[in-house]
Homo-oligomer: A and B are copies of this chain.
Amino acid sequence: MAAKLGILAGGGPLPGYLVEACRANGREVFVIAFEGQADPDVIGDTPHAWVRLGAAGEALDRLRNAGVSEIVMAGPVRRPTLRELRPDRRAAKFLGLGLLNKGDDGLLGAIVHALEEEEGFRVVGASDVLNDLAAPAGPFGQFRPDAEVEADIAHGVRVLQATGPLDIGQAVVVQQGIVLGLEAAEGTYALLERCGPLRREGRGGVMVKLHKPGQETRADMPSIGPDTVAAACASGLAGIAVGAGATLVLDRDRLTATADAEGLFVTGIRPDDYVEGYDQA
């Protein structure tokens, strides 16, 4: 029996999938639900505590009291400013205040490091807990990108390669060589929504969502689920390309059924096949 799992829960459905997977395996869990981030409906009646994002001391005490030794971070955290965060002494020491300006990756990498080296927990990635959830290479369903869309995917990979080191976002929407939208603080759903009216007449339109070059994927692995496909469909896109092996695919059966029913492709790509040295960028 695997050790009790501590789930640091941000937004979206991912924490719920982790709880489900643990239950199916008889593994115990304890959830730290971050206030203003985690979804109460997703947390449900799982053993949990609501904690302010800046209250690291309280979160760590709760995890230790619950007997947790292994931790997973799950779901997007709307990044707070320093004032919103109001870090307690533990959080402040823990993060080093200067890190706050390094962007998500610097911050998350520092948290993972501190949890392991200073606090003695083991940090695992969501894909280590959820079996068969990393995106495979190639099309998931019956549709696949045509040559024109492949060119748009390549452009999307180039955009994400250039913007990755700046820590802006994980997703871009491209149609016929035109960047319709680039994700920043608004998140993937809002990106898809606002790109609907920006679509040009004619074919195509693809969302490319990738980990940033060199990203700490244990802390913030990109994910898609059936709702992502529905949003892409509502915006008139032809499909979605994600990083093979580096993207969490939630509820793949339903996701694939949705894509097939709507005529969208969803495909796992290797960024290096499109742009040389993506992960060395």
B-binding residues in A (CB < 8 A) = 79-84, 100-101, 103, 151, 158-159, 162-163, 165-169, 175-182, 184-186, 190, 194-195, 198, 200-202
Contacts and interface: CB of A to CB of B under 8 A. Distances in A.
A171 B71 CA distance: 39
Q: Which 8 A-B pairs have the closest CB atoms?
A: A81-B200, A83-B202, A101-B177, A185-B198, A179-B184, A180-B185, A168-B179, A81-B176
A167 B179 CA distance: 8
Contacts of A167: 179
What DSSP secondary structure best describes chain A's contact surface?
mixed
Nearest to A197: B186
A52 to B, nearest CB: 14
A175 B81 CA distance: 9
Copies of this protein in the assembly total 2
Residue of A82, A151, A167, A179 ringed by the most chain B CB atoms within 10 A = A179
A209 B163 CA distance: 17
Nearest to A202: B83
A31 to B, nearest CB: 25
A181 B178 contact: no
A72 to B, nearest CB: 25
A83 B186 contact: no
Contacts of A202: 81-84
Nearest to A102: B177
29 contacts: A79-B178, A79-B200, A80-B200, A81-B176, A81-B178, A81-B201, A82-B176, A82-B202, A83-B200, A84-B200, A84-B201, A101-B176, A103-B178, A159-B166, A159-B168, A162-B163, A163-B163, A163-B182, A167-B179, A168-B179, A168-B182, A178-B185, A180-B184, A180-B185, A181-B185, A181-B186, A185-B195, A186-B194, A194-B194
